[in-house]
Amino acid sequence: MTRLLFAVMLTGMFLTSCTSATEAPAPATTPTPEPSKEANTPPPRMMTAVPVTGYAGDQADLLKSSNPKLAANKKLAYDFFRVILRGRRLDQADKYMTEDYIQHNPNADTGMAGFKAYFSALGGEQPIPDKLDGLVAIQADGDYVTLSFSREYVDPAIKDATYTTTWFDMFRIVNGKIVEHWDSATKGPGPTRVQTRG
């Protein structure tokens, strides 16, 4: 049985390695074209992700903590967002942040001067809101406070559709002042945001 199997294998190998004289030889190496990315991309569809929505209750509830330091840090970050970022009262920035504030947003320079230059370019003072539109939650742990917001963007794949996602701003607070900031900003045009104040 093994001799028969061996003979069949050798015959198969011999026949596949031989070509008749009438057949044109195969090209030495023909690169196989890669399938286009579009061929591998599924068609656009509405996703079933649950939309991100802002906190429906009284935002003052989000500032509470059984730890007085955490409650104070949450209030500082919340008011910084309302007064400085949304209201653009840049003349009051020193009440909330240090001169050597560390910036991790790739679109703004570090330091209070860089912060003020970035926000000055966005325009002058705005009304200071009583609450933050789109605020989902505020978390505090140690020296860190994170505010999360609902953001709505134009869907690039589906005409006239939008989608929501979450934006994060995190602050490190030392001795009652913001010393460092992170967010989810990227360089370049990015997605098209639906115009809201969130």
Confidence class of residue 9 from pLDDT cuts 50, 70 and 90? very low
- Does residue 24 carry a pLDDT above 80? no
List the domain boundaries for the chain: 59-183
Question: Mean pLDDT throughout 147-167?
Answer: 90
Topology annotation, domain 59-183: Nuclear Transport Factor 2; Chain: A, (3.10.450)
Would you state the pLDDT for residue 48?
74
Averaged confidence pLDDT in the chain: 83
The pTM (predicted TM-score) of the whole model is 0.73
Q: What residue spans of 55-185 are helical by DSSP H?
A: 68-79, 111-120
Q: Report the first-to-last Cα separation within the chain, whole angstroms.
A: 78
pLDDT tens sequence across 76-120:
999 999 999 999 999 999 999 999 999 999 888 999 999 999 999
Sort 97 into a burial class: Cβ within 10 Å, 0-12 / 13-18 / 19+: buried
